[in-house]
């Protein structure tokens, strides 16, 4: 009798979770012959054999015999290290952990659960009940890059009943685990739980700020930049609201605030909000001598470049480079700056050429599209000029050179100015009403 084929692999932890798991049986499975084993598309038969070998159980005797070669981690978890980890620190309580593992029931050759089979590591947070209790206990005994074997009792896996027919009652399991990495995400509520009296104490607040910074860094690493910004601002507010007792605490508070504002500048640049990044840099200037802070100068330069203030951006980046002459990132940023600045100059020259008729134009009849574009732009300009409250009219992106020539002709016709400006790292064109008695009268 032939078995049924699942459309997707079944995850045991999902099956035993609160919401259970859904699976579908493929009804379209047929024997297609040799075409399913084309080496170019699916790999060779040898590769398939190697993959299966990797997920075969390394132990073919009883678990009692294997436990005898292990040491006890807890009452129901036994361990044998196969590759020593790095450092002395074990996984902390609230860490976010990434592991690679294969899991086997006693007497079975192939894994019942495997990150290798799924083709991706498992990432979870300790203490959040995201994995089996026994697996979490095992991982918490590990160091970074460590590889180990664990025999875990049914009491901290699937319980006495198991989950028939897939999981037998009282099913112990062998887990082969590699700790790929972990990070301490910090305590998101460290500052929120302080009493009013504690909030005024620098000694208390600085410890909680350190926890909040760790949490913010974890958000940033996971590209949750908005969350990181919230945490950093929270840390700043609490730190600025507490009282320092002496010069030593004052110095330490200032240094921490500078670090927080620098991190905020990094985040705002990441979010493509250079104006807010510059605001954070201004806070740093209020607290100390920024000309000695290469990281702050670097991000000031990046923010100013994205605002189109190329001259000041170059000044900041060159100051940063003088402090760290071998820093390749600063050199790359200066190269980007020079390229953007030159492109900006060329675009400004093109505007001047259009404005003063210095650019040669071929006497060609307009295409239907160009006629339609001219009529649309003319209507927009008529409404713009008639509206006394409107001072600027931003042009759409991606206009061709011929369309820009049309815009310039219409700008001259309606006596408005065509300008180039920068916003969020992008160049834009806009039309501006000329000031009476100013440029329009020259």
pLDDT single digits (tens) 353-393: 665 554 455 455 678 888 888 888 888 888 888 888 888 88
Helix ranges restricted to H, 127-193: 133-140
Q: For the domain made up of 63-191, give the CATH fold.
A: Chitinase A; domain 3 (3.10.50)
Peptide linkage before 165 cis (omega within 30 of 0): yes
Chain centroid to CA 95: 18
Render pLDDT for 405-423 as a digit per residue (tens, 0 to 9): 888 888 888 888 887 776 6
pLDDT confidence band for 63 (50 / 70 / 90) = very high
The domain segmentation of the chain, as residue ranges, is 63-191, 192-353, 368-433
| Domain range 368-433, CATH class | alpha beta
Arithmetic mean of pLDDT over the chain: 82
| Whole-Å CA distances, 400 to 245, 395, 404, 442 | 64, 12, 6, 29
Question: Which CATH homologous superfamily contains domain 192-353?
Answer: Tetratricopeptide repeat domain (1.25.40.10)
d(CA 347, CA 420): 8
The arithmetic mean of pLDDT across residues 325-345, rounded, is: 89
* The predicted structure's pLDDT at residue 357: 55
Count of beta carbons in the 10 Å neighbourhood of residue 396: 9
Least confident of 252-261, 307-316, 425-434: 425-434
Least confident of 34-43, 206-215, 222-231, 410-419: 34-43
SS3 76: coil
Least confident of 37-41, 58-62, 208-212, 397-401: 37-41
pLDDT confidence band for 321 (50 / 70 / 90) = very high
Q: What are phi and psi of 63, to 5 degrees?
A: -65, -30
Whether this model's pTM surpasses 0.75: no
* The predicted structure's pLDDT at residue 12: 56
pLDDT confidence band for 14 (50 / 70 / 90) = low
Least confident of 151-155, 291-295, 375-379, 428-432: 428-432
């Amino acid at each position: 009798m032939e078995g049924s084929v699942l459309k997707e692999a079944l995850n045991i932890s999902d099956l035993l979770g609160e919401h259970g798991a859904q699976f579908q049986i493929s009804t379209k499975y047929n024997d297609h012959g040799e075409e399913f084993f084309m080496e170019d598309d699916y790999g060779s038969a040898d590769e398939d054999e190697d993959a299966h070998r990797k997920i075969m159980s390394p132990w073919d005797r009883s678990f009692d015999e294997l436990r005898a070669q292990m040491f006890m981690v807890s009452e129901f978890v036994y361990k044998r290290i196969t590759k020593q980890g790095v450092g002395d620190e074990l996984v902390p309580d609230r860490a976010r952990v990434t592991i690679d593992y294969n899991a086997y029931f006693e007497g079975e050759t192939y894994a019942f659960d495997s990150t290798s089979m799924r083709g991706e590591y498992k990432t979870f947070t300790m203490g959040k009940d995201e994995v089996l209790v026994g697996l979490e206990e095992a991982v918490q005994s590990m160091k970074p890059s460590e590889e180990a074997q664990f025999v875990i009792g049914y009491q901290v896996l699937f319980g006495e009943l198991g989950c028939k027919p897939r999981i037998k009652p009282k099913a112990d399991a062998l887990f082969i685990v590699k700790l790929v990495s972990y990070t301490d995400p910090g305590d998101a509520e460290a500052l929120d739980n302080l009493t009013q009296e504690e909030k005024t104490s620098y000694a208390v607040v600085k410890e909680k700020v350190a926890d909040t910074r760790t949490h913010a860094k974890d958000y940033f690493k996971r590209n949750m930049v908005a969350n990181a910004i919230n945490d950093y601002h929270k840390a700043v507010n609490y730190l600025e609201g507490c009282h320092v007792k002496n010069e030593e605490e004052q110095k330490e508070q200032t240094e921490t605030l500078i670090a927080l504002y620098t991190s905020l500048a990094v985040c705002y640049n990441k979010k493509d909000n250079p104006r807010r990044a510059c605001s954070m840099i201004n806070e740093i200037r209020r607290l100390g001598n920024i000309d000695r802070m290469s990281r702050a100068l670097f991000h000031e330069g990046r923010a100013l470049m994205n605002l189109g203030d190329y001259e000041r951006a170059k000044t900041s980046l060159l100051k940063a480079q003088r402090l760290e002459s071998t820093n390749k990132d600063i050199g790359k940023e200066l190269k980007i700056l020079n390229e953007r600045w030159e492109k900006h100059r060329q675009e400004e020259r093109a505007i001047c050429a259009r404005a003063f008729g210095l650019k040669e134009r071929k006497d060609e009849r307009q295409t239907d599209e160009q006629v339609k574009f001219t009529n649309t732009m003319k209507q927009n300009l008529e409404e713009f000029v008639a509206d006394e409250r409107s001072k600027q009219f931003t042009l759409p992106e991606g206009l061709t050179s011929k369309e820009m020539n049309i815009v310039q002709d219409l700008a001259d016709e309606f006596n408005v100015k065509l300008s180039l400006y920068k916003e969020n790292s992008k160049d834009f064109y806009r039309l501006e009403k000329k000031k009476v008695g100013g440029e329009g009268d020259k």
